[in-house]
Amino acid sequence: MSACKKSYDGETLVVKDLNLSLPKGEFLTMLGPSGSGKTTCLMMLAGFETATHGEIKLDGVSINNIPPHKRGIAMVFQNYALFPHMTVAENLSFPLEVRKIGKSDREAKVKRALDMVEMGAFGGRRPAQLSGGQQQRIALARALVFEPELVLMDEPLGALDKQLREKMQFEITDLAHRLGITVVYVTHDQTEALTMSDRVAVFNDGRIQQLAPPDVLYEEPENSFVAQFIGENNTLEGTIAEIKGDTCVVKLDGGEVIDAKPVNVTKVGERTRVSIRPERVEYNKDRLQEGAHTLKAKVLEFIYMGDIFRTRLDVAGNRDFIIKTRNAPDQARLTPGTEIEIGWLPSDCRALDAN
Amino acid sequence: MPYLSSGQVLWHYSFRVICGAIFIFLITPILVVMPLSFNAQDFFTFTPEMLHFDPAGYSLKHYRDFFTNPEWTGAVKNSLIIAPLATIISVSLGTLAAIGLSQSHVPGKRAIMAILISPMIVPLIISATGMYFFYSKINIVGTLWGVVLAHAVLGIPFVIITVTATLVGFDRSLVRAAANMGANPVTTFFRVQMPLILPGVISGALFAFITSFDEVVVVLFIGSAELQTLPWQMFTGLREQLSPTILAAATVLVAISILLLATVEMLRRRSERLRGMSPG
């Protein structure tokens, strides 16, 4: 599959100039807040919406003018969309019947698909007689039963409880990799995106803000939106005072001067938002790494969360500066009101756009 | 009911009395007709023999007349040809219209709906007059298809209303899912959408059938001497000969209606249960 380029235009542009190509076998997640255009993109791939500009290609062939039922792209719907008047087996058999596959062949495929999702014993039931998790598995099996090249999933786990969701996340990725299918997965749950995907496309305002593997996305966000949207993030506002190669000096609004790594800032005097991950901040002097930058901070709140401590600080005027520290025997528990010194490596501190 | 106030008790009983009164008001005229149809005399009244439950006061002669007199059997035959044909047309067109009008992007949806429903609201005599003038222009007055078409028009609103009601609960993503799995629109309609809205279609068909089967005004305009339907025959019979055969016919009609209603309701429930829409 190559070069999906599409742009969609209604009254306003919902998806603006989207370029995306994904290789066979990849698990790509479209992540973004609601209204960011990710579902529209999925609908264009499935053929339920038409791209007003640009081209969508599958295996090098343009599929813009191919109606949904001839695309051979499977989809798992948010509400599962199982046919209530058919049994589970009939549901699975449906895509095979419309493809005029013989009866014995059909039965074998249905059985294999049901076994794949460990629902072999449920073929005779109706969807209404299954739990949410079971319906989810059937929806998955139905999408895979006709061996599509590409499977689209529209927030398929949205209706499940947390525990089941985590289990299904694992099962879906496992199945996808085992069968070597290409998956485009839409979600607004960032944990889901990070744990499941080979690559994540972060959507906002109809554009892909960043397209990268999960670790790159988390550790090297390319702009403020991605840094804010993925994981927890501390920000300090300031102005660029100096840029030299891959470091820059930022003068914070509170007057402090810190070193940071310039990402999408280019010139001196530009407003910037510096981003630091809560777990990269250290307050134990012995653990501070060499070259770390220190700042004064005041403890506002200490929250014990079991595996970690979550401490809220006032740093350079930001009263929502969060740090997370592992619950280790030698880790100090901070008392609100005390003045401490915190530090981080300048490379963990990214100077991003101020939008 | 030890914990109810006397006012509540009073209301409890008056409520039942009111309900009973309404029920009697609705059903008595129909019930009275039934014993009269077994009258041994050619009168519309209860004879003294009947009131004394004397077997000699009762007879099946009006039923014999109804089932053997060619005037009546011909009318029954006509009705049994016209009603199913009109029903088929009403159901096909009405279902399609309901599905079309349930799409979100149809312009002037409300106006179209109002026009299609209007035969139900406009006084029948006005529809009938209009149809008479229009149908005579295209030369179908007095033909079988003229009556069938006219009855289909009267039946369509019922089908539209019942099917639209079932479509409200219909999940559109099922259509998308079917398309996504490779089913073309026609297959999708017959395999996915139709089975799910079938209860509504069945109810609509029942109403359309009964409408045609009971209709007299339009037939008087569009029909002809050779094209007498059962209600037409009853109407003219009432004016011309006043024979209690009409009562036998009425009783048969009521029985057919009840049977039909019961059968269709049973079918509808069964299909709803099969389709997993009610716990059954």
Q: What is the pLDDT at residue B58? A: 82
The region of weakest confidence among A187-191, A243-247, B43-47, B74-78 is B43-47
Residues of B in contact with A48 (CB under 8 A): 176, 179
Residue A12 has pLDDT above 60, yes or no: no
CATH number (domain holding residue A315): 2.40.50.140
Answer whether B180 sits within 8 Å of A67, measured CB to CB: no
Q: Whole-angstrom distance between the N-terminal and C-terminal Cα of chain A?
A: 35
With CB atoms and an 8 Å threshold, state whether B183 touches A74: no
CB-count exposure of residue B10 (10 Å: 0-12, 13-18, 19+): exposed
Q: How far is B19 from chain A (nearest CA, A)?
A: 38
How would residue A267 be classed by pLDDT, with cut points 50, 70 and 90? confident
Q: Which of A8-12, B94-98, B235-239 has the highest mean pLDDT?
A: B94-98
Report the percentage of chain A scoring pLDDT > 70. 95
- Rounded average pLDDT over B120-125: 90
What pLDDT is stored for residue B151 in this prediction? 93
Could you tell me if A174 and A251 lie in one domain?
no
**Closest to A140 in 3D by CA, of A191, A97, A179:** A179
Which of A224, A244, A268 is a domain's end point? A224
* Minimum Cα–Cα distance from B187: chain A residue: A98
CA proximity to B39, closest of B55, B22, B18: B55
Shared-domain flag, residues A160 and A298 = no
Quick: pLDDT tens for A303-314.
998 888 899 988
Residue of A69, A97, A146 to mutate for B, most B C-beta atoms under 10 A: A69
A280 and A336 in a common domain: yes
**Which H helix or E strand runs over A71?**
none
Q: Give the nearest chain A residue to B174 (CA atoms).
A: A81
Kindly state whether residues A148 and A296 are assigned to the same domain: no
Does residue B92 have a pLDDT over 50? yes
**Claim to verify: residue A19 and residue A123 sit in the same structural domain:** yes
Residues from chain B contacting residue A69 (CB–CB below 8 Å): 178-185, 188
Q: How far is B264 from chain A (nearest CA, A)?
A: 19
The verdict on A193 and A280 lying in the same domain is no
Q: What is the pLDDT of residue B279?
A: 41
Question: Which of A186, A205, A224 corresponds to the end of one domain?
Answer: A224
- Position B152 confidence tier, pLDDT thresholds 50, 70, 90: very high
- Convert the pLDDT of each residue in A69-88 to its tens digit: 888 888 998 888 999 888 89
pLDDT over 50 (residue A2): no
CATH code for the domain in which residue A59 is found: 3.40.50.300
Q: For A17-38, how does the pLDDT look when each residue is reduced to its tens digit (9 = 90+)?
A: 777 788 888 899 999 888 777 8
> Which of A207, A224, A241 corresponds to the end of one domain?
A224
Q: Which residue has the higher pLDDT, B152 or A57?
A: B152
Say what percent of chain A tops pLDDT 90.
7
Asked if residue A48 has pLDDT above 70, the reply is yes
Of chain B, the percentage scoring pLDDT greater than 70 comes to: 97
Taking the CA of residue B84 and the nearest CA in chain A, the distance in Å comes to 27
Whether A319 and A264 map to the same domain: the answer is: yes
Contact A146 B182 (CB under 8 A): yes
Give the pLDDT of residue A148: 87
A182 shares its domain with A41 = yes
Angstrom distance (rounded) from CA A45 to CA B266: 44
Average pLDDT over residues A49-68: 80
* Alpha carbon distance A311, B175 (integer Å): 51
The angle that helices B230-240 and B70-101 make with each other, rounded to 10 degrees, is 130
A282 and A211 in one domain? Answer: no
pLDDT for B278 equals 46
Whole-angstrom CA distances from A243 to A222, A247, A256, A348 are 17, 6, 17, 17
* Structural domain count, chain A: 2
| Structure confidence at residue B47 as a pLDDT band (50, 70, 90) | confident
pLDDT at A55 over 60: yes
Q: Does B177 sit within 8 Å of A98, measured CB to CB?
A: no
Residue A19 touches chain B, beta carbons under 8 Å:
no
Q: Which domain holds residue A342?
A: 232-352
A86 to chain B: closest CA residue: B275
| CATH 1.10.3720.10-classified regions of chain B | 71-274
A50 plus A196 within the same structural domain: yes
| Chain B residue nearest residue A94, CA to CA | B181
Predicted-assembly ipTM surpassing the 0.85 threshold: no
Nearest CB to A75 within list B180, B196, B274? B180
* Residues from B in contact with A at Cβ < 8 Å: 171, 173-174, 176-185, 187-188, 191-192, 195-196, 274-277
Judged by CB atoms closer than 8 Å, whether chains meet at B277 and A94 is answered as: no
Average pLDDT, chain A: 84
What architecture (CATH level 2) is domain B71-274? Orthogonal Bundle (1.10)
Contact with chain B for residue A129, Cβ under 8 A: yes
Predicted pLDDT at B126: 92
Average pLDDT, chain B: 86
pLDDT at A5: 55
Residue in B closest to A127 by C-alpha: B276
Does one domain contain both A162 and A45?
A: yes
pLDDT tens by residue, A172-217 = 888 888 888 889 999 888 888 888 899 998 988 878 888 899 998 8
